[in-house]
Amino acid sequence: MQHPLLAELNDKQCEAVAAHERHMLVLAGAGSGKTRVLVHRIAYLMQEQQVSPYSILAVTFTNKAAAEMRGRIESLIGSSTRAMWIGTFHGLAHRLLRAHYMDVGLPQNFQILDSDDQQRLVKRTIRSLNLDEKRWPPKQAQWFINAKKDEGLRPHHLDGYDFNERTLKEIYDAYQVACDRAGLVDFAELLLRAHELLRDNAIVREHYQRRFRHILVDEFQDTNSIQYAWIKLFSGVGESQGATGFVTIVGDDDQSIYGWRGAKVENIQQFMRDYPDVLTIRLEQNYRSTSTILRAANNVIGNNQGRLGKELWTDGSAGEPIDVYAAFNEMDEARYIAGRIEQWREHGNALTDVALLYRSNAQSRVLEEAMLHARIPYRIYGGLRFFDRQEVKDALAYLRLIAGRNDDAALERVINTPTRGIGDRTVGIIREAARDRGITLWDAARQLVTEKTLTGRAANAVGAFLALIDTLEDETGDFALGRQVDVVIKRSGLMAMYEAEKGEKAETRVENLKELVNACDHFAEPEEADENMTPLNSFLAHAALESGDEQADEHQDAVQLMTLHSAKGLEFPLVFMTGVEEGLFPSQQSMDEAGRLEEERRLCYVGMTRAMQKLVITYAEQRRIYGTDMLHRVSRFIGEMPSDALHHVRMKVPAYSSPSAPAMGRFHSGASHEAFEQTGFQLGQRVRHSKFGEGTVLNYEGTGPQSRIQINFDDAGSKWLVVAYARLDRC
C-alpha cells in the first residue's frame, strides 16, 4: 500500500520523499517540483517514519521561501509546525545567538546592522583612521569585510603582505571593534558568530546535534563557505563521535547565479565528498514549460563545462516556437513588447501572467515608459523595501536607542534628525572623545556634558537629546508597541519634520511613518521568542531580518518587471527576455573574468525556464546606455539555441503607434548624423527598395559610395546593401 503522500508524485520524487535515514542530494531542475519534494518529505518523515517535528531543521535563503515552506507543510499535515526550525540561514543564526548571547560575548539587546547601516559605519571607521576615502572607498572595504566573514576569517587570520590588504585588514579590525563596543552585528557576523559558537562550544554543539536528526537545505548551490561549514557542524559529520543528523540538500548547479557574491557551486560536489553514502536523485521531469522552450534551454546550458549533468524533459506539447525580435533600438524594443502585451490582453489573458526580464535595472525605465504609454499596468520588483526607507529607518533608530543606548549607528543617525543644533562639529567632538576613551558615543556625549567640556549651546542641545531618549524610555516603556512607536515618532519631532516638508515625497514619508505604527499594532511576536526578549527587541529584529514584504497593491492585474536574478524561482505563462545583446547579456564585465561567462549562461537558462507557454526574446541593435549610444551584436546565447526552435519576427511598426512616437526622435543625434554624412541616409529612416519594399535603416559601415547600410525590410527581413548599387528611395 502506497502512502497517500506519495500518490501524486513521479518515481524520482517518490524516491526522494521516502528515502530512509541517509544523506541525500536532490538535483532538482527548473520546474521539477523541488519545493513540493521538500515539503512532502518533511510531512512524510513525520507521518511515516515517526520523526518528531522537534528534530527537523529546514533552511532556506529568503524569508519568502521559508514562509512558503512552512505554510505548505502546515496545510499538508494539518497541524502547527511550531516545534520545527524553519527559516533562513540568517534568521536561524539570529535565533542561536539570542539563545546563547552570553556564550558568544554579545549583550542581551544586541542589534542587527543592515547593509546600509554597515556602510555608514565602515565609512566612519575609515575616516576615524584618517584614511583617504577616495583611495579606500567604503563600498569596497565593506565588500572586503563581508567576503572575509563569509570565508570564516577574522582580522587576525589575515596575513596581508601587500599594502592594500594590510590597510583593509586594519579597517576590518577597527570596524569590528566599533561593532562590538556598540553591540552591533552585521549580516555576515550573524553567520560567522553562530558558526564559531557551534565550533567552539561542545556543549551547545552536541545539544543541537542530538536534537536535529533531519536537516534539509534548499537552494544549496547558493551556499557560501560559512553556510556550508554551518550545516556540517549541525550534522556532526566528520566528527569522531556524537549523533549524526541526516542532511538532504536540494539544488541545481545550472541555476547557480550568485557566484559573484560568494556562493560556491562546488559545495555540491564537496557535499558528496564530505558526507558518507550520499544518495543522489535527479529530478529532470519538468512540469512548467513547453518542450520547445526546454529544448532550447537545454541546448544553451549544454555549452557549460563541468556540469553535474541533467537534462530537462516534459511529456507536454511542443508549443509555439520562441520568438526573436531584433529591434533597432531600445525604444523600439519596448514598443514591440507593449504591442505584444496588448495582443495578449485582447485575447483575454491576465497581465499578471506576463513577465519582462532584463539583465540590469537600468533597462527597466524604457520598458516602464512604453507600458505607461500603452496604458498597461505594471509592477516593478526590487524597489526600496518598507523597512529600508529613510523615514522608517529614522524611527527605528530612535527605537533602537531606547532599547539600548550603546547603539552607535542608531545614535549617529538621529542625533541631529530632526535638526536640533548638534552640528558636524559637535558630533565630531563626541566621536573623538568616544574613540580616545574607548567608549560608546552615548557615554561620550554624557561625559562631555557632565564634564562641561562642551560649550553652552552645544551642551544644551546634546543634553536635551540625551534627556529626550531617557524620557521616551521612561514614559513609553510600558506602552503597547504601536502606541510606543506613535509617541516616539511624535515626541522626537520626526513626524513634525516630515510634515513640514512639502511635495509628494514628504507626504508618502508621513504615510509610511503612520504605516509603521500600524505595522507595530499588528506585529505578532514570533512563537519561538524567548522570555528575555522584549516585544520591542523582537520587532527590531523582525525589521532588520525581513526588510518588509512586497508592496500592497499586489492584487492588481499588472505586468511584472524584474531582473533575471529576481525571477529565479518564479514562473509565468508569457515571458519576455529583453536586451539579449553581447555586452549587456552576457554583460561586458562578465566576459573579461574567467568563469563568469558560464554564470551568465546559467542566468540565461534561468530566464528561459521561467516561461511556461511562450518565450519572446528581444534585442536592440542600438541602445543608449548612460547617455552614449552603443551598437551591440546579438547575444551569443541566441546562437546557442536550436534554430528550428526560433522564429525571427520581422520588424513591423505596430499600427497603434503614431509616427511621432518618441523613438523616431531618437535618431537625430550623434551616430545618426555621422551615418548621414557617410551614406546619405539616417539611422531609423524609412526607405523603399524596388524589390524588397519598404524598410527602416538600422546600421551602416564604411564611408562614401562604397558604404553599406543595413535595412530591416518590413516584409523581407534585414539586409545589408551597398548604397551605390541599391537604388533606394526615401519614403
Residue 596 sits in the site that holds DNA (CB under 7 A): yes
Comparing CB distances to DNA, the nearer of 67 and 278 is 67
Cβ contact 638:619 at 8 Å:
yes
Q: Is 703 annotated as ligand-binding?
A: no
Selected from 587, 613, 657, 678, the binder of DNA by CB under 7 A is 587
Strands 85-88 and 354-358: unpaired
Selected from 160, 421, 428, 477, the binder of DNA by CB under 7 A is 421
**12, 13, 34, 393: which one is catalytic?**
34
Total binding residues for DNA by CB under 7 A? 48
Selected from 10, 62, 270, 349, the binder of DNA by CB under 7 A is 62
Can you list the alpha helix ranges (DSSP code H) found in 212-277? 225-235, 266-274
Residue 423 sits in the site that holds DNA (CB under 7 A): yes
Q: Is 423 annotated as ligand-binding?
A: no
Name the segment binding DNA (CB under 7 A); options: 326-334, 405-413, 624-632, 646-654: 624-632
Known catalytic membership, residue 120: no
Can you list the alpha helix ranges (DSSP code H) found in 616-713? 636-639, 662-665, 670-679
Amino acid symbol at 417: T
Q: 3-state DSSP call for residue 583?
A: strand
CA dihedral of residues 41, 43, 46, 51 (deg, nearest 10): 40
List of E strands, 320-456 = 322-329, 354-358, 378-380
Residue 546 sits in the site that holds DNA (CB under 7 A): yes
Q: CA-CA distances (angstroms) from residue 485 to 392, 473, 482, 598? A: 11, 11, 5, 49
**123, 610, 666, 686: which one is catalytic?**
610
Q: Is 463 annotated as ligand-binding?
A: no
**219, 407, 598, 600: which one is catalytic?**
219
Known catalytic membership, residue 35: yes
Question: 294: Cβ–Cβ under 8 A, 6 or more apart, which residues?
Answer: 286, 312, 313, 314, 609
Residue 460 sits in the site that holds DNA (CB under 7 A): no
CA distance 541 to 545: 6
Q: Is 35 annotated as ligand-binding?
A: yes
Residue 330 sits in the site that holds DNA (CB under 7 A): no
CA distance 583 to 589: 8
Residue 589 sits in the site that holds DNA (CB under 7 A): yes
Comparing CB distances to DNA, the nearer of 347 and 425 is 425
Comparing CB distances to DNA, the nearer of 482 and 493 is 493
Known catalytic membership, residue 219: yes
Please spell the DSSP secondary structure of 142-206, one letter per residue.
HHHHHHHHHTT--GGG----SHHHHHHHHHHHHHHHHHHHHTEEEHHHHHHHHHHHHHH-HHHHH
Q: Is 578 annotated as ligand-binding?
A: no
Query: What SS3 string covers 264-308?
Result: CCHHHHHHHHHCCCCEEEEECECCCCCHHHHHHHHHHHCCCCCCC
Comparing CB distances to DNA, the nearer of 624 and 719 is 624
Cell output for 33:
517540483
Q: Is 32 annotated as ligand-binding?
A: yes
Contacts with DNA in 72-131 (CB under 7 A)? Answer: 88, 90-91, 114-115, 123
Which positions from 337 to 366 touch DNA by CB under 7 A, shown as an x/- string? ----------------------xxxx--x-
Query: Edge-to-edge, what's the strand order for the sheet holding 56-60?
Result: 85-88, 56-60, 214-217, 246-251, 24-28, 279-283
Cell output for 595:
568563469
Name the segment binding DNA (CB under 7 A); options: 274-282, 414-422, 673-681, 687-695: 414-422
Name the segment binding DNA (CB under 7 A); options: 12-20, 349-357, 435-443, 621-629: 621-629
Residue 600 sits in the site that holds DNA (CB under 7 A): yes
Cβ contact 682:697 at 8 Å:
yes
Cβ contact 39:27 at 8 Å:
no
Selected from 626, 655, 659, 691, the binder of DNA by CB under 7 A is 626
Known catalytic membership, residue 601: no
Residue 627 sits in the site that holds DNA (CB under 7 A): yes
Beta bridge partners of 587: 583, 584
Which positions from 479 to 498 touch DNA by CB under 7 A, shown as an x/- string? --------------------
User: Distance between alpha carbon 26 and the CA centroid of its chain, in Å?
Assistant: 24
Known catalytic membership, residue 218: yes
**Which residues carry a binding-site annotation?**
28-35
**Which residues carry a binding-site annotation for ATP?**
28-35
Residues contributing to the site for DNA (CB under 7 A): 61-64, 88, 90-91, 114-115, 123, 133-134, 137, 187-188, 260-261, 359-362, 365, 381-382, 416, 419-426, 545-547, 562-563, 565-566, 587, 589-590, 596, 600, 624, 626-627
> Would you please indicate which residues are annotated as catalytic (active-site) residues?
34-35, 218-219, 255, 610
